[in-house]
């Protein structure tokens, strides 16, 4: 995308019918670190890659609990994501107070999308620079939605956003037909595998990723580091055994063999 005379403010259309500011906002999402989500009939798993600025600092929080039955993973301007999470939490709690019932995730997502749309039609505002993967339950089961800065929202079986998300999407595209009937643990494993795809060879460990689960009978919660590390260890071993069995992306298989060796520091990309 290059600079042009129609991209100064969001209230200017280009002759081709595009709003460049909105598209630039979607670019901001692509620059953020990866977030993925996948769902079965009863559970949804969200995962994200946590990159800290330096070894001294902590990593940014990218997964937020919105209510017992809704959680969100963000990619892009995390400050915008935090503000939108606060809005979502507010909406959920107000609904719960009035109706003593959880806000159906489909309705929250529409409210969020309408809020984003407002910012695409006011000259004194800018679009939110964050993409949100909203995971939640309602009467009809488990749902995963993606909310764009443009004000659009889509429902997905599985999706990935942020930098190097294409690798995760390719992985998910191959497997998604099985997700609907997956068990909860298999779903978490698939999420970790998808996260690993975005790391391009770097070792997957629980210190650089965050995983959260929500499902029927299971309130939204972020899995703790030990649990995640155990799951990684469990399938890394399997992965090593599968390596020689010629998977379609041989590069990934070769990396699996290599990454079980010591000495690959997290920031050494």
Partner 1 sequence: MNFMASKQPENCLLGPESDSQRTLYPYVTGTSVVALKYKDGILMAADLGGSYGSTLRYKNVERMKPIGKHSLLGASGEISDFQEILRYLDDLILYDNMWDDGNSLGPKEVHNYLTRVMYNRRNKFNPLWNSLVLGGVKKGEKYLGTVSMIGVNFEDNHVATGFGNHLARPILRQDWHENLSFEDGVKLLEKCMRVLLYRDRSAINKLQIAKITEEGVTISQPYSLKTYWEFSAFANPAQGAVGTW
Residues 75, 131 contacting (CB under 8 angstroms): yes
Q: Which stretch binds partner 1 (CB under 8 A): 36-44, 104-112, 125-133, 211-219?
A: 104-112
Strands (E), the chain: 35-39, 43-49, 63-67, 70-76, 130-138, 141-147, 153-155, 158-161, 209-215, 218-222
Smallest gap from Cβ 138 to partner 1, in A, equals: 6
Tell me if 68 contacts partner 1 by CB under 8 A: no
Cβ-based burial of 156 (10 A; exposed 0-12, middle 13-18, buried ≥19): middle
Q: Rounded to the nearest whole angstrom, what is the least distance from the CB of residue 50 to partner 1 in the complex? A: 34
For partner 1, which is the closer residue by CB, 9 or 68? 68
The answer to whether residues 194 and 164 touch, using CB atoms and an 8 Å cutoff, is no
Note whether 75 and 161 are within 8 A (CB): yes
Nearest alpha carbon to residue 73 among 210, 226, 231? 210
Site size toward partner 1, by CB under 8 A: 12
Q: Which stretch binds partner 1 (CB under 8 A): 35-43, 54-62, 134-142, 165-173?
A: 134-142
Cα–Cα dist 197/204, whole Å: 9
By the rule CB under 8 A, 140 interacts with partner 1 = yes
**53 counts as binding partner 1 under rule CB under 8 A:** no
For residues 2 and 99, which CB has a smaller minimum distance to partner 1 in the complex? 99
Task: List, in order, residues 6 or more apart from 80 with CB less than 8 Å away.
Answer: 128, 129, 130
138 is a site residue for partner 1 (CB under 8 A): yes
Contacts of 45 (CB under 8 A, 6+ apart): 37, 38, 39, 135, 184, 187, 188, 190, 191, 211, 212, 213
Stretch that binds partner 1, among 31-39, 67-75, 105-113, 126-134 (CB under 8 A): 105-113
Candidates 15, 53, 58, 139; binder of partner 1 (CB under 8 A) is 139
Structure tokens at 76: 């892009």
CA–CA distance, 69 with 82 (Å, rounded to integer): 18
Helix (H, G, I), strand (E, B) or coil at 78: helix
Of 48 and 105, nearer to partner 1 (C-beta) is: 105
| CB-nearer residue toward partner 1: 139 or 177 | 139
Could you give the string, one character per residue 212-251, with x where binding to partner 1 holds by CB under 8 A and - elsewhere? ----------------------------------------
6 or 95, CB closer to partner 1?
Answer: 95
User: By CB under 8 A, is residue 98 in contact with partner 1?
Assistant: yes
Interacting residue with partner 1 among 32, 47, 81, 104 (CB under 8 A) = 104
- Please give the residue ranges that form the binding site for partner 1 (CB under 8 A): 97-101, 104, 106-107, 110, 138-140
């Amino acid at each position: 995308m290059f600079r042009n005379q129609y991209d100064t403010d969001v209230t200017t259309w280009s002759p081709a019918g595009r709003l460049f500011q909105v598209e630039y906002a979607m670019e901001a999402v692509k620059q953020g670190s990866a977030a993925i989500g996948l769902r079965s009939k009863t559970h949804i798993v969200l995962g994200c890659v946590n990159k800290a600025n330096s070894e001294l600092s902590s990593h940014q929080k990218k997964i937020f609990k919105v209510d017992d039955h809704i959680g969100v993973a963000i990619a892009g301007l995390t400050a915008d994501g935090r503000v939108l999470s606060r809005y979502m939490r507010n909406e959920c709690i107000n609904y719960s107070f009035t109706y003593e019932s959880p806000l159906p995730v489909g309705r929250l997502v529409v409210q969020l999308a309408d809020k984003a749309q407002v910012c695409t039609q006011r000259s004194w505002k800018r679009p939110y620079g964050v993409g949100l993967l909203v995971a939640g339950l309602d009467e009809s089961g488990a749902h995963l939605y993606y909310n764009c800065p443009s004000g659009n929202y889509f429902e997905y079986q599985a999706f990935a956003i942020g930098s190097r998300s294409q690798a995760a999407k390719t992985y998910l595209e191959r497997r998604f037909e099985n997700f609907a009937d997956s068990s909860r643990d298999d779903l978490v494993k698939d999420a970790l595998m998808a996260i690993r795809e975005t790391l391009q060879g770097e070792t997957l460990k629980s210190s650089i990723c965050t995983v959260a689960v929500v499902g029927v009978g299971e309130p939204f919660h972020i899995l703790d580091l030990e649990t995640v590390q155990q799951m990684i260890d469990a399938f890394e071993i399997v992965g090593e055994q599968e390596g020689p069995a010629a998977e379609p992306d041989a590069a990934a298989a070769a990396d699996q063999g290599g990454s079980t060796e010591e000495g690959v520091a997290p920031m050494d990309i």
